[in-house]
Amino acid sequence: MRARFLWLGLGLLLASALFLTLGARGDWGFVLMLRGTRLLALLVVGAAMAVATVLFQTLSGNRILTPSVMGFDALFVLLQTMLAVTLGGFGLASLPAQIRFGLELALLLAAALALFGTLLGQSRPDLHRMILTGLIFGVLFRSLAGFLQRLIDPNDFAIVQSAAFARFNAIPADLLALSTVLTLAALGAAWSLRHRLDVMALGRDHAVSLGVDHRRTLLLALVVVAVLVSVSTALVGPVTFFGLLVAALAQLVLRDHRHAVLLPGAALVAGIVLVAGQTLVERVFHLSITLAVAVEFAGGLLFLALVLRSPAR
C-alpha cells in the first residue's frame, strides 16, 4: 500500500513539475507564480470533487452515483440563467467575481442543506428518497433553465452557455484563498469521519449494532459533501463524471475500501488527472480541446462500463 501511495505521490509531483516548467519562457519568477496559483486551484478542485464523490458513494451504498445526481449542476446552470435574465448578459459578465462566487456558493449550500434537513429530519432517514428527490429537482431545474434560455437575447444566451461548462483553465485567482480554506476545513471533517465511514459502508443496521450514531454521521458527511460540491461547482462550473472517474481509478489502483486510504488516494488521483490533463491540453493540443470535455467523455464511458458490467453494489 505504501508503494502505491508513493507512486501516486511521485506521479503528482512529476505532473506538477511539467505543468510549472514545460514551455516556460521569460521571467521564471512571474511564470512560477502564475502557474503555481493555477496548480493550487486545480489541486483544490480535484481534491474537493474526489472526496465528495467517495463520501457520497459510501453513504448511498452505490459505486456509480455521484453528487451531481442531486441536481447541483442543474441548479448552478439555472442560477446563471436567472442572473442573465435579471442583470442581462453584460451585467452578468461585469458582476464582481467575489459577489458572483458568494451568491453561487450560498445558493448551492442553502439548497443542499434544505434538502438534507427536510429528508433527514425524520426518525429514520431515507437516503434513497433523498437521491430520488434530488434527481427530480435536477430535471426541474434543467427544464426551467432551458425555458428561460429560450426567452433571453442570443448574446446573453452565449454568456450563459460559457458559464454552464467547467473551466479548468480560467479559475479566478482572487477566489482561491476562500475556496482553499473552505475545502481544507471540509477535508479535515471528512478525515475525522474516516473510521465511522468504514462502518457506515456496511449498512445502517450493522453500523447501529456496532455503536455508530448513524443519523449524526450521515448528516455530518452529507454536509461535508454539500460544502465540497458547492465550492468546486461555484469555482469551476458543473462537472458530472469527473468524481466518478477518479473515485473508480483510486479503487482500481489502491484496491482498499478503507477511507483512510481511499480519501487521500482519490485526491491524489484527481490531482494527477487534472494537472496532467491540463498540461496536455495546453502544451500538446494547444487548447484545441478542453479538459472538461475530455474528462466528461472518459467519465461517461466509465459510467456505461460500470452500469453494463455488473449490478451496482
Q: What is the pLDDT of residue 203?
A: 81
98, 174 in Cβ contact below 8 A?
Answer: yes
For domain 38-308, the CATH class is mainly alpha
CB within 8 Å of 256: residues ≥ 6 apart? 1, 262, 265
pLDDT in tens, 39-68: 998 999 999 999 999 998 888 887 877 877
Q: Which residue has the cell 436567472?
A: 82
Instruction: Give me the helix-helix angle, 2-21 and 259-279, nearest 10°.
Output: 20
Q: What percent of the chain has pLDDT over 70?
A: 94
Q: What is the pLDDT of residue 312?
A: 45
pTM across the whole model: 0.86
224, 33 in Cβ contact below 8 A?
Answer: no
d(CA 280, CA 274): 10
Res. 133: pLDDT tops 70: yes
SS3 260: helix
Locate the domains of the chain by residue range: 38-308
303, 241 in Cβ contact below 8 A?
Answer: yes
Burial class (CB in 10 A: 0-12, 13-18, 19+), 73: buried
Q: Which residue has the higher pLDDT, 270 or 100?
A: 270
Mean pLDDT over the full length of the chain = 83
237, 167 in Cβ contact below 8 A?
Answer: yes
Most confident option among 151-165, 203-217, 257-271: 257-271
